Amino acid sequence: MNTEIRLSTTGKGKCLHAVTHIAKDAVIFEEIPLVSCQFSWNETCMYKACNHCLRPLETAEENVRRLTGNSSWVLPYPQCCTTKKEDIIRCPDCSTEYCSENCKTLAFDEYHKTICSRTLDDRSAHPIIQLQEAWKQIHYPPETSSIFLMVRLLAKIIQAPNTEEAIETTLSFCHRSVNEDAELAHKFLGKKFSHQVNLLRELIANALPNPKVQQFLTQEGFQSLVALIGTNGQGVGSSPFSSWIRNVEKLNLSAEQKEQIDSLVDRIYDEMYSHTGDFLNSEGVGLYARQSCANHSCDPNAEISFVHNNYRLSLIALKDIQPGEEICISYLGDCDNERSRHSRRKTLMENYLFACECSKCLAEIDDPDVTSEEEMSAEEDD
């Protein structure tokens, strides 16, 4: 490991620091999540992904045809598609799909045995299905997290060979006060649905009636878990078409062939945006132990990428990082990170309950305390 986790001396909790020099563009580390899952609406809208590792389950050509609404598309270089349809396998009890026998086995051994919604005469009566439908009515797209991250986390505790160790791992993500947890839980659900925290808690308790996880199903314990996934959940995206593009770019093509591919890709993306909009990937969320120790900076020196087209996270250096230097990522999207200091700090306080003191915020400390929208309005008035 070229990184180590330290306790901050400035009250930030855990921090991630470089142990050796890390060059720009280098992979700092890779990590698979403690648990992950696909977003509920993403799955409902037929974005097919492995139920364990989130690898796409449709070919690049199938993906293009679905997202463009055009069944006549034929992609060249089919050998560049990474989807192996012949390896797809289902759970024999609930028909959940996996990209391989290995993922099916891992899921069953880690959590799926506990939460498998085995076939019933009335499948809608299963507690897991009831929870899924309730969650979808509370959390509409664009999705940012999933209650099923919590379900799998609890199921993993139930199935763990060492219950105490599994609970300790989960609690290592929880380090806020009761009041902060309650505030974050309400923020996570939104004002309109924050009163339904107890409904979700009851539905999960019905789905997982096991004494091993009862401490997480009290009011305070549950709010802590909601706050955990709301602040530590990392978005995951995969796409068979994007993977196909990356593999085609590695081929030894002529200048003319490259130009043809670029034109083809542009036309396909134009049709995708026209037919589907911005939601082009199979999307989900994961809980990563090491990545979660990376604190925020509005001028980050690292960023997260998913180059393996599944849940395996890569942390990439954006600039040279010196030994002992803290490794930081941005918790904000690209657009939000370009907004005013006041806007950035307001968003971070609302969603993560901290006032940013990064180098960029300190350099802009004398800027007006107005949001980006207020600045634009003032400029228009002038």
Beta bridge partners of 31: 313
Residue 30 in tokens:
């890779």
What would the pLDDT profile of 129-144 be if each residue is shown by its tens digit?
A: 889 999 998 888 888 8
Burial 186-224 (b: 16+ CB within 10 A, else e): bbbbeeebeebbeebbbbbbebbeeebbeebbeeebbbb
pLDDT of res. 92: 93
What residues make up the domain containing 356? Answer: 340-381
Residue 253 lies in a domain: no
Domain boundary among 234, 261, 281: 234
Confidence (pTM): 0.90
Residue 369 lies in a domain: yes
Are residues 300 and 45 in contact, defined by beta-carbon separation less than 8 angstroms?
A: no
pLDDT of res. 56: 97
DSSP at 316: E
Residue 269 lies in a domain: no
pLDDT of res. 17: 96
Residue 326 in tokens:
């803290």
CB atoms within 10 A of CB 42: 22
Angle at the Cα of 203 from the Cα atoms of 198 and 204, rounded to 5 degrees: 95
Residue 315 lies in a domain: no
Element (H, E) at 232: helix 219-232
pLDDT of res. 307: 93
What would the pLDDT profile of 351-360 be if each residue is shown by its tens digit?
A: 888 899 999 9
Residue 293 lies in a domain: no
Count of residues in the chain: 382
pLDDT of res. 188: 72
Give the C-alpha separation, 107 to 102, whole Å.
9
Residue 154 lies in a domain: yes
Q: Are residues 91 and 208 in the same domain?
A: yes
Q: Are residues 88 and 228 in the same domain?
A: yes
Q: Are residues 345 and 223 in the same domain?
A: no
Residue 297 lies in a domain: no
Amino acid at 21: H
Q: Are residues 230 and 344 in the same domain?
A: no
pLDDT of res. 379: 46
Q: Are residues 83 and 214 in the same domain?
A: yes
Are residues 283 and 44 in contact, defined by beta-carbon separation less than 8 angstroms?
A: no
Q: Are residues 51 and 192 in the same domain?
A: yes
What would the pLDDT profile of 193-238 be if each residue is shown by its tens digit?
A: 667 888 899 999 999 999 999 999 999 999 899 888 888 999 999 9
Are residues 251 and 77 in contact, defined by beta-carbon separation less than 8 angstroms?
A: yes
Domain boundary among 177, 202, 234: 234
Domain boundary among 205, 234, 263: 234
Give the C-alpha separation, 15 to 360, whole Å.
18
Q: Are residues 56 and 182 in the same domain?
A: yes
Q: How far is CA 338 from CA 133, 240, 343, 370, in A?
A: 37, 30, 9, 14
Q: Are residues 72 and 211 in the same domain?
A: yes
Residue 172 lies in a domain: yes
Q: Are residues 357 and 229 in the same domain?
A: no
Q: How far is CA 320 from CA 144, 298, 313, in A?
A: 31, 17, 20
Closest-CA residue to 42 (of 281, 233, 333)? 281
Which residues, in sequence order, are CB contacts of 220 under 8 Å at separation 6+? 178, 181
pLDDT of res. 382: 46
The DSSP string of 74-91 is: --S-GGG----GGG-EE-
Residue 116 in tokens:
């498998």
pLDDT of res. 275: 97
CB atoms within 10 A of CB 105: 14
Total domain count, the chain:
2
Give the C-alpha separation, 364 to 372, whole Å.
14
Q: Are residues 44 and 178 in the same domain?
A: yes
pLDDT of res. 185: 74
Q: Are residues 353 and 209 in the same domain?
A: no
pLDDT of res. 182: 77
The DSSP string of 264-300 is: HHHHHHHHHHHHT-S--SEEEEEE-TTGGGPEE-SS-
Residues of the chain with pLDDT under 50: 378-379, 381-382
